[in-house]
Structure 1
Amino acid sequence: MLDEADDGGKGWQPVTALIAKEFLRLPVWVRVLLTGRPQVEAAFAAWKPEWIKPEDKQNQADMLDLLQWRLRQAQLVADSDLDAAAQLMLRKSSGQFIYTKYAFDDLAEQATWTLQEMEARLPSGLEGMYRRVLSTLEEALQTERPDLLELLRTRLLPVLVACLEPLTVQELAWATGCEADSGKVQQLVGLLANLFPCRAGGSDQQDRVAPYHKSVLDWLTSVAHKCLLCVPS
């Protein structure tokens, strides 16, 4: 299994090209399971692969099973609404499994939901979910800590997007010019945990901040958000 064939920053293309070329020499009975974004498809065209995409029936069926199981386990909706709720979430997710992480985090804030409440609460698509998470934080900071909002938009997010590897809070404080006031960076890191969690990593196992998923970076560097948040490409 080759996971995240497009990972590794700007250096993924040569590695992927090498794998695509050399793995064709393997015996025909060898099968490779590979994950990656659509950008890798061209490199593996000679394999004649079977790509499973979010809109494919197989993926949709697997996701529907997951949604029904999670909803049943958490008892978030009435039994009579279970199938309809799962279909609603499947439609909102556009077939992206990572959407379910944020959706169930959101739904955990209330014991039970009606279909109408779920429809109003859950945004459409993964980008819609990211937008909601960040805008909720921004609105709270605008009211209570506008200084942190300015730091978030003009310094911290650009650094998190541009850095080539996960950074510690101390390294982020240096990169954002906040060495003398690293407490502000620490606060923001805690508030951003849903998008940029802080987890142990590296040879020293220090806590480092990294995107929860690479789609977070894709969204932040999209044209629509780049202007608003001053995030460089």
Structure 2
Amino acid sequence: MSRKQQSAVPAEITENELFIGREWALNAVAMWLSGTGRVLLIEAEPGGGKTAFAARLMRSCSDGRLAAVHFCQQRRQESLSAVQILENLASQLAESVPGYAHRLVGSRHREIFLKIEARQKVRSMVNSTLTGVHLALGENEPRQAFDEVLRAPLKRLQEDGSLANSVVVLIDALDETVEGAQGVTWAQLLASEMGRDPPPALRLIATSRPGFAAAQLSHYVGSHLQSLNLLDDEPPDVDDVAAYARHRLRAAPASGRNTLAERIAESGKGNFLYAKYVLDDILGRHPMPVDLAELPLPRGLTNVYRDFMSRAIYAAPDAWQQRFRPLLAALVESQGDGLTRAELVFITGIRERELDDTLHVCRPYMHITPEGAMRPYHQSLRDFFRQPGDLHIYPRHTHAEIAEHLIAAHQERWVDSPYLVEHLATHVAAACAPGQSAEPGVQRLAVRLTDPAFIQARTALAGIDALLSDYARVLAAMSYPPPELSTVYRLVRRQAHHLRKWNKDAEQGFLLQQLLYEAVAGGHRDLVHVIAAYLVS
């Protein structure tokens, strides 16, 4: 397993090494790998352990059988974009597939930009592997990028006889690339390309919940697709969730452990996340019940969340409106690693003592980084609070409030907030209602994306293509975007080929100077004034 493959695994999976069962599923994948099948689709409902299984599969294939891996995560936009996924896969294939990097370097498409770190010059390399490749595809159309990154290099390798083995790629959580996406999604692209004209030797393992992404893959790939359901295909004499529950209950000083383990598996319908939450609750009780066999259990994962909220607000019904909804809304719609306690205070307006008490109640369902950022432990909690009903958290309004309150909290130095710089565009796009004019507050937030300080900070953090991706996502989400945003987007695109080479340390003013030049040439007087004022400040 390469260093890049190891770093692709989500932190919460690597931190939780307990993996029980699924040996039958690993054996089924191993059998598929030994054959010639084109696509293996691994399905499970939310909480069914798809990502944990994908990470376990990756470790079991540390002998190099997987050429590249990618974990899609809805809270990380860069993990959902088709073009950025292709960039990630290319960097791994350059390490795992001999000759691939050479064929990639030979691409003549004008939009491809390669940054290569190698011990030898490219021209002198014959039968060696180029290492340290970073691919920047810019704003390539996804299908064209697929051709340039996968189909063309693998076809050239096949033609010159260098493609000795199959190239197996693992994509986890394919379904998470669909929600809220504009344009061609990774799920659509992968399904259609693997169905109509798959790249030579490329084989795909994908995990997904049942639904649109899985159906598309099945539709396009047809008879070349093999399915594996982590619940329905479990052998009759195997109960992985019960085995997991017995393992965790083995030291509990109470009777009825085996009976409880079987009831947990039955009540949760084979859902690992359900079992985790229920066992966390039972094993955390003091004192421990004397007999575990007859403990009441919630029916299914949804009722785990509903029972949690019922307990939380039972003694104070207004606590939902005053504390839990504002806090959970911010956590549910947070991006990346989540929000810190200080940021949650700014966003919710809840007094620190009450915020801490509420966070303590919610903690079992949260993931907390070593730096103190918090977010939901699992996507299913986001789904639960986003659905209509008495516990709805109004996602669009929440996205706008997160951006507005954090900008206000940091006042004129809001670009010093790494969270805002990275995720402002995501919150603005998500605050827009499809087919409707954005509210005035959202329009003002969109204009903030044209602030020279934001342009400089975002590009310094993630590069010019991340800035362009931000602009494209917001423009696609807004029916009537502010003209300032459209103008800056066009100017940045025109200078992108120069700005990809920007050295933020050695040429700090170069980025904005180039945009100033474009603004002057285009006669955009207001923008010229704004950029010039920032440069001399």
**TM-score computed with the length of structure 1 as normaliser:** 0.74
**Cα distance change on mapping 1:22 and 1:88 into 2, 3 Å:** same
Q: How many Å apart are 1:195 and its aligned residue?
A: 2.0
- Aligned residue among 358, 365, 380 for 1:215: 380
Q: How many Å apart are 1:177 and its aligned residue?
A: 3.4
Q: Distance in 1 between matches of 2:254 and 2:193?
A: 49
- Aligned residue among 52, 57, 61 for 2:229: 52
Residues 55-134 of structure 1: pairs in structure 2 closer than 5 A: 55-58=232-235, 61-74=239-252, 76-78=254-256, 82=258, 84-108=259-283, 109=285, 110=288, 112-116=290-294, 118=295, 120=296, 122-134=297-309
Amino acid at match of 1:68: R
Q: Secondary structure at the match of 2:372?
A: strand
Q: Secondary structure at the match of 2:369?
A: strand
Contact 1:157 1:229 in 2 (8 A): no
* Aligned match of 1:158: 329
Contact 2:332 2:375 in 1 (8 A): no
Q: Distance in 1 between matches of 2:180 and 2:339?
A: 18
2:368 is the alignment partner of 1:198: yes
Amino acid at match of 1:87: E
Count of residues in Structure 1 that have an aligned counterpart in Structure 2: 212
Contact 1:68 1:86 in 2 (8 A): yes
2:393 is the alignment partner of 1:231: yes
Could you report, residue by residue, the CA deviation over 1:54-81 in whole angstroms, capped at 9, with x for unpaired residues?
3443496322332333333445434xx6
Contact 1:221 1:231 in 2 (8 A): yes
The structure with the largest strand share of the pair is 2
Amino acid at match of 1:173: V
Runs of 5+ consecutive residues of structure 1 not aligned to the other structure:
201-205
Amino acid at match of 2:328: L
Q: How many Å apart are 1:129 and its aligned residue?
A: 1.1
Amino acid at match of 1:107: I
* Aligned match of 1:43: 216
Q: Distance in 1 between matches of 2:290 and 2:175?
A: 39
Contact 1:55 1:95 in 2 (8 A): no
Q: Distance in 2 between matches of 1:175 and 1:213?
A: 22
Q: Distance in 2 between matches of 1:86 and 1:154?
A: 33
Q: Distance in 2 between matches of 1:72 and 1:27?
A: 49
Contact 1:153 1:229 in 2 (8 A): no
Q: Distance in 2 between matches of 1:137 and 1:18?
A: 43
Q: Distance in 1 between matches of 2:208 and 2:323?
A: 30
Q: Distance in 2 between matches of 1:28 and 1:195?
A: 42
Q: How many Å apart are 1:96 and its aligned residue?
A: 0.8
Taking only the aligned residue pairs, the percentage that are identical comes to 23
Q: How many Å apart are 1:133 and its aligned residue?
A: 1.8
Q: Secondary structure at the match of 2:207?
A: coil
Larger Rg: 2
Q: How many Å apart are 1:91 and its aligned residue?
A: 0.9
* Aligned match of 2:189: 18
Q: How many Å apart are 1:229 and its aligned residue?
A: 3.2
Amino acid at match of 1:156: L
Runs of 5+ consecutive residues of structure 2 not aligned to the other structure:
1-169, 396-537
> Aligned-residue CA RMSD in angstroms?
3.1
**Cα distance change on mapping 1:112 and 1:23 into 2, 3 Å:** farther
